[in-house]
């Protein structure tokens, strides 16, 4: 088995691979894209960090390729779709840099409170200017942590040890989990308006990009201090710079940037109240050793036919079980995604119920597929089939799996239900139709429907009145959105109806607003699913 180590990892990781019988290890650090294409023609696995790009061209040039291992978390440099299409498993190492990134974040917090870096630079110039470098204490200050995953939780522990009051914004964090961590769960508005320090620990998604911008900074305290060691783009750099110039933001610390490397002429580089580091979140000896060894062990397991660990694009399941459950994995992920989007952000429990022959097998892979679908809209690329249960636990959401022998109208059925602390329930049920195993949603929020779980679903709760279909058709038609299919369900004549539309394209916010303005329509939800 030939393993290409394209980017430098811990020597212990490389040594581990070389110790394996039948393994040939090729170290090719700093190779050009052209050289990588030459080297991959007969490799079985590739190990990278963030430098080497594993593109579709690279994957298709490697007919023997079975696995790509990323020594780190982000997989932006790997074409996941191309890997999946070519049967290549992609793995990352999500836990190895947790402490390193948390400690770097806290280093930035301390440097934001006390201008140590600036004072050091002044001393290096031969100056002795004590008055110019006055700071503040962390003790009794309020820290807002935006995103309470592994790293955010570790930052909270350190902040509490320094006597800080910790508030947390994470719409998916349950009340019980917040209580266990001894933090105050707040809405984003309160985090912005009441915090003295704000640090972000979220994935970069459509909803988190430029979360901190001109508008949100305007709501903050004068003299607030901002920090980002998560993903570039969560803080809008132009807005941050403007706030630093005006004094609205007293200090900032950044390890990640909207475009990396940060431009040499960026004004952030020379601003006196900013401390910058060149994406050092995982750059400790311990973290590098941990992720290097972790990715090496994962590659060895795959090539030796063992367990697949930290897979991004496939579940861990044996061939016999996969033959039966395989068609249900995609269905489960789609049902999980639907329930996440139709339920409130904060839930207490997720109940997964399986009917039919599914209950005769180990349904672990199906469970993980549902959780992965549920979490994909929350954690983005950070979630996979392996760490999905861990993320659910971090959110404080209880997951209950029920294998039911009760008869249903379908031979096999999967039902996903989210429950809130107040007892509200939101559910989606699905099955597979025909010999081609076509996924279908056959129930939403307790009402019977039949719809395809692909692309854009417009879910409406409305009064059962004549002409409603025409109204929807007209409004969507005016917006240039075509209706591909429609499913209607009602509790009684003239009562409440559930309408589900499959759309060919995403309607604009303006179009959705016009639909919501209709008096007979009470709820409008747009569900986005993979095509």
Active site residues per annotation = 231, 260, 279
Q: How many CB atoms lie within 10 A of CB 206?
A: 8
Cα separations in angstroms, 321 against 317, 325, 345, 474, 494: 7, 6, 33, 47, 47
Burial class (CB in 10 A: 0-12, 13-18, 19+), 285: exposed
Cα separations in angstroms, 13 against 16, 52, 250: 5, 18, 43
Look at strands 165-169 and 142-146 and give their pairing: parallel
Name 354's bridge partners.
403, 414
Q: How many CB atoms lie within 10 A of CB 189?
A: 11
Cα separations in angstroms, 455 against 150, 165, 314, 404: 31, 43, 21, 30
Is the peptide bond between 261 and the residue preceding it cis, with omega within 30 degrees of 0? yes
- Contact predicate 80/91, CB 8 Å: no
Close Cβ partners of 155 (under 8 Å, ≥ 6 residues apart): 102, 105, 106, 145, 199, 201
The four Cα atoms 5, 9, 11, 14 give a dihedral, to 10 degrees, of: -30
Alpha-carbon span 96 to 106, nearest angstrom: 18
Alpha-carbon span 183 to 449, nearest angstrom: 41
């Amino acid at each position: 088995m030939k393993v290409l180590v394209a980017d430098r990892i811990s020597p212990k990781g490389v040594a581990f691979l070389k110790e394996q019988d039948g393994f040939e290890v090729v170290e090719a650090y700093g190779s050009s894209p052209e050289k990588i294409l030459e080297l991959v023609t007969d490799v079985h696995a590739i190990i990278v960090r963030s430098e080497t790009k594993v593109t579709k061209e690279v994957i298709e040039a490697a007919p023997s390729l079975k696995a790509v291992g990323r020594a780190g978390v982000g997989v932006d440099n790997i074409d996941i779709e191309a890997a999946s299409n070519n049967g290549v498993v992609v793995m990352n190492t999500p836990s190895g840099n947790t402490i390193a990134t948390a400690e770097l974040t806290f280093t930035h917090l301390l440097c934001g409170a006390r201008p140590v870096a600036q004072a050091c630079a002044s001393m290096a110039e031969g100056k002795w200017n004590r008055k110019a470098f006055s700071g503040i204490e962390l003790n009794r200050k309020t820290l807002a942590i935006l995103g309470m995953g592994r790293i955010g939780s570790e930052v909270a522990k350190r902040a509490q040890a320094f006597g800080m009051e910790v508030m947390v914004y994470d719409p998916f964090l349950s009340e019980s989990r917040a209580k266990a961590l001894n933090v105050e769960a707040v809405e984003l508005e309160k985090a912005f308006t009441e915090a003295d320090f704000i640090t972000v620990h979220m994935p970069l998604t459509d909803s988190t990009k430029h979360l901190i911008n001109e508008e949100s900074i305007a709501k903050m305290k004068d003299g607030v201090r901002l920090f980002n060691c998560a993903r570039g783009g969560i803080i809008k750099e132009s807005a941050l710079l403007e706030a630093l110039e005006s004094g609205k933001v007293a200090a900032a610390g950044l390890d990640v940037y909207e475009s990396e490397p940060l431009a040499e002429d960026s004004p952030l580089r020379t601003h006196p109240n900013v401390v910058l580091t060149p994406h050092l979140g995982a750059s400790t000896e311990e973290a590098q050793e941990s992720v290097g060894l972790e990715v090496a062990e994962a590659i060895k397991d795959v090539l030796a036919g063992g367990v697949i660990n930290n897979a991004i694009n496939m579940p861990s399941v044996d061939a016999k079980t996969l033959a039966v459950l395989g068609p249900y994995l995609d269905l489960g992920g789609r049902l999980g995604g639907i329930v996440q989007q139709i339920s409130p952000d904060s839930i207490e429990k997720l109940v997964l119920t399986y009917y039919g022959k599914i209950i005769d097998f180990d349904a672990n892979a199906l469970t993980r597929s549902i959780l992965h679908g549920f979490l994909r809209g929350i954690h983005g690329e950070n979630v996979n089939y392996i760490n999905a249960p861990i993320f659910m636990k971090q959110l404080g959401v209880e997951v209950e799996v029920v294998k039911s022998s009760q008869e249903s109208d379908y031979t096999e059925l999967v039902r996903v239900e989210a429950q809130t602390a107040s007892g509200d329930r939101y559910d989606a049920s699905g099955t597979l139709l025909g010999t081609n195993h076509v996924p279908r949603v056959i129930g939403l929020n307790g009402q019977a429907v039949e719809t395809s779980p692909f692309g854009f679903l417009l879910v409406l709760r409305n009064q059962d009145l004549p002409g409603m279909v025409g109204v929807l058709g007209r409004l969507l038609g005016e917006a240039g959105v075509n209706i591909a299919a429609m499913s209607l369900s009602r509790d009684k004549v003239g009562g409440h109806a559930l309408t589900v539309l499959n759309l060919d394209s995403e309607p604009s916010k303006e179009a959705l607003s016009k639909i919501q303005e209709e008096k007979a329509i009470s709820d409008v939800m747009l569900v986005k699913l993979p095509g």
